Amino acid sequence: MEQTLKKFKEYYKRMKQYEQAGTMLAWDMQTASPKDSVDSKIESLGFFSTEKFKLSTSEEYGQLLSELAKTENLSKLDDGMKLTIKRELRDYTRFKRVPEAFYTEFVTEKARSEHAWEEAKQKDDFSIYEPHLDKIISMTKEFVHYIEPEKDVYEVLLDMYEEGMDSHTIDTIFEELKEGLCPLIKKITSRPEPDLSVLNGKYDVLSQKRVQDLLLEYIGFNFDRGTTAESVHPFTITLCHGDVRITNSYDEEAPISSMFSAIHEGGHAIFEQNISDKYIGTAVEQINLMGLHESQSRFYENMLGRNKNFWIPVYDKITEIHPQLKKVPLDVFMQAVNVVRPSLIRVDADEVTYCMHIILRYEMEKAIFIDNIPTKDLPELWNKKMLELLGVRPKSDAEGIMQDMHWSDGSFGYFPSYLLGSIYDGMLLEQIEEELGSIDDILSKGKIKEITLWLNEKIHQYGSLYTSKEVLQRVCHKEISARPLLDYFTKKYN
Ligand code: ZN
């Protein structure tokens, strides 16, 4: 057993090293690479991922896993290693069931479909995308039949992005949320929109970066364990233990946008930066729970960042960096941060109507994978649902069904995790207030790091050791419910 475990650890480490080299290249390509170096880097990326693939599917690796997964061996391992063996064996077994020729075709079709989506969106012509989307849907179904022949396709897809989550649970909580939000959104929309013209102006990129660093430091991003850069879309990436990086993008006319992206990505990064050292070299560091991950970024972005008290201790410092804001009272700044209006595009949506954008996508995915609705009928179904849920109807498919890239590369089942994250946040907010007292007080006194410490201790240190359902049970001692999130919205916007 000792020898087998040692050998397994060597294997696993080698795979992680290939992965790290690939991640480093990917980071470089998205933040710094000159255009003409891209082809050569893609070739290297291909090399590292092939080498990792060979190791992860080798007979020897499979034997090591089955040996260690025997009950008498597994029981001797610590929590982190136990999880690693179980997860690796599951993936190994799944992968071995997929015919190589199918897999190669699937990967190639994903790339083709992504490309077709880009072109179709740009030309606003669904007919370019339709045959590819249709093929990606049928290939996804086939792929799931290979890896989990006994299970329902959509359940497997949901579980891929949020382990332990199922459509029955999601149906219940999304329905509860939908019923509560419909009248609230109508009520908010009937009020006049605030006049925010005082914010207009140019805010230079260098100053926006300084504000970003100030906010990151403020919420608890650890610059000894991470760094920042600029990219087209903001994202968070983990290179290895102790190196979690985030990016931001800047628009000279929209300084608030880069502030909130920084807070959001900062939340993701704080999670990854604080996984306990005792899980180094285990699968605990690989957080495959997208709902839980999103709950952390959205907690900082919405529950904290959209609260006026968050800004009280730092607003003066920010106006020193952006003198244009000196004429903008904090109350007006907050109005700008909390405008709620139904709109067509998910990524531009406010915290309230955002929920409806996700419920729509979840219902669409169920129509695709459970009701088997023909692909040609999907754009019209989308538009109908937009009208029903948000009261607005897209004039084109580019601002309708083709706005997100997720489906073009087969990421079905991913969308619900964004909203699950917010639902978890409602519960976490309630629990924090119960244990630490009023969030408003903590924030206004500049003690936000007390909240970060609480999250470090209750959630971050464990990485992906527990599923989200388990985390909420351990931390909040409750089943998942949308009620706390609804209470938060009602209290804030009613
Ligand atoms: Zn995110």
In this model, does residue 113 exceed pLDDT 90? yes
Strand 236-240, strand 226-230: pairing: unpaired
Q: How far, in Å, are 12, 118, 125 from residue 398 at the CA level?
A: 43, 10, 8
pTM to 2 decimal places: 0.95
User: What's the 295 CA to ligand 1 centre distance in angstroms?
Assistant: 8
Nearest CA-CA partner of 32 in 221, 245, 216: 245
The pair phi, psi for residue 437, each rounded to 5°, is 100, -175
Work out the pLDDT band at 100, boundaries 50, 70, 90.
Answer: confident
Q: How far, in Å, are 85, 87, 216, 327 from residue 69 at the CA level?
A: 6, 10, 42, 64
DSSP string, 144-162: HHHH-TTS-HHHHHHHHHS
Residue with tokens 């991640």: 23
Q: What percent of the chain has pLDDT over 70?
A: 100
User: What's the 283 CA to ligand 1 centre distance in angstroms?
Assistant: 21
Beta bridge partners of 246: 228, 236
Contacts 24+ apart (CB under 8 A), 61-70: 61/11, 61/92, 62/92, 62/96, 64/4, 64/7, 64/8, 64/11, 65/8, 65/89, 65/92, 67/1, 67/4, 68/1, 68/4, 68/5, 68/8
End-to-end alpha carbon distance in the chain: 61
User: What's the 302 CA to ligand 1 centre distance in angstroms?
Assistant: 12
User: What's the 171 CA to ligand 1 centre distance in angstroms?
Assistant: 22
- Cα–Cα distance measured from residue 426 to residue 337, given in angstroms and rounded to the nearest whole number: 19
User: What's the 235 CA to ligand 1 centre distance in angstroms?
Assistant: 7
In this model, does residue 494 exceed pLDDT 90? no
Work out the pLDDT band at 186, boundaries 50, 70, 90.
Answer: very high
User: What's the 216 CA to ligand 1 centre distance in angstroms?
Assistant: 15
Rounded to an integer, the average pLDDT of 398-410 is 95
User: What's the 230 CA to ligand 1 centre distance in angstroms?
Assistant: 16
Please write the tens of the pLDDT for every residue from 339-389.
999 999 999 999 999 999 999 999 999 999 999 999 999 999 999 999 999
Residue with tokens 């957080």: 287
- Cα–Cα distance measured from residue 158 to residue 162, given in angstroms and rounded to the nearest whole number: 6
Contact 438, 163 (CB under 8 A): no
Burial of 468 (0-12, 13-18, 19+ CB in 10 A): buried
Contact 246, 226 (CB under 8 A): yes
pLDDT of residue 104: 85
Give the containing element (helix H, strand E) for 331.
helix 330-337
Q: How far, in Å, are 44, 219, 247, 249, 348 from residue 457 at the CA level?
A: 39, 15, 26, 31, 32
Please write the tens of the pLDDT for every residue from 135-180.
999 999 999 999 999 999 999 999 999 999 999 999 999 999 999 9
Chain centroid offset of residue 364 CA = 19
Q: What is the DSSP letter of 392?
A: -
Catalytic residue among 19, 148, 162, 265, which?
Answer: 265
- What sign does the dihedral 145-147-152-156 (CA atoms) show? negative
Rounded to an integer, the average pLDDT of 396-405 is 96
Query: Residue 266 corresponds to which tokens in the numbers above?
Result: 């900062």
Give the containing element (helix H, strand E) for 230.
strand 226-230
Work out the pLDDT band at 12, boundaries 50, 70, 90.
Answer: very high
Task: Let me know if 265 is a catalytic residue.
Answer: yes
